[in-house]
Amino acid sequence: MKTLFAHRGMSALAPENTLAAFALCRQYGIQWIECDVDILADGTVVVSHDDTLDRCTDQSGNLAELTKADLSEIDAGSWFHDDFIGEPIPTFEQLITLVNQHELNINVEIKSCSAGWAMTDKLIANVITALAQLDTGRELIVSSFNHLALAEFKRRRPQTSVACLFEAASLGDDWESVMQACGADYIHPEDQNLTQAMVARFKSAGYKINVYTVNDLARANQLFNWGVDGVFTDIAHRFPSKYKLRGK
* Residue 81 designated active-site: no
Close Cβ partners of 162 (under 8 Å, ≥ 6 residues apart):
141, 142, 143, 144, 150, 153, 154, 182, 183, 184, 185, 186
CA–CA distance, 95 with 22 (Å, rounded to integer): 8
Distance of CA 174 to the CA centre of its chain: 24
Annotated active-site residue in 7, 147, 188, 237: 7
Any catalytic annotation for residue 49? yes
3-state DSSP assignment of residue 213: coil
Distance, CA of 83 to CA of 187 (rounded, Å): 37
Residues paired with residue 187 on neighbouring β-strands, in sequence order: 164, 209
- The residue ranges of DSSP E strands in 111-216, in sequence order, are 140-144, 161-166, 186-189, 208-211
- Residue 61 is which amino acid? G
DSSP state of 198: H
Q: How far apart are CA 39 and CA 19, in angstroms?
A: 17
For 62, counting Cβ atoms within 10 Å of its Cβ (0-12 exposed, 13-18 middle, 19+ buried), the class is middle
Residues whose CB is less than 8 angstroms from the CB of residue 52 and which lie 6 or more positions away in sequence, other chains included: 60, 61, 62, 63
Catalytic (active-site) positions: 7, 49
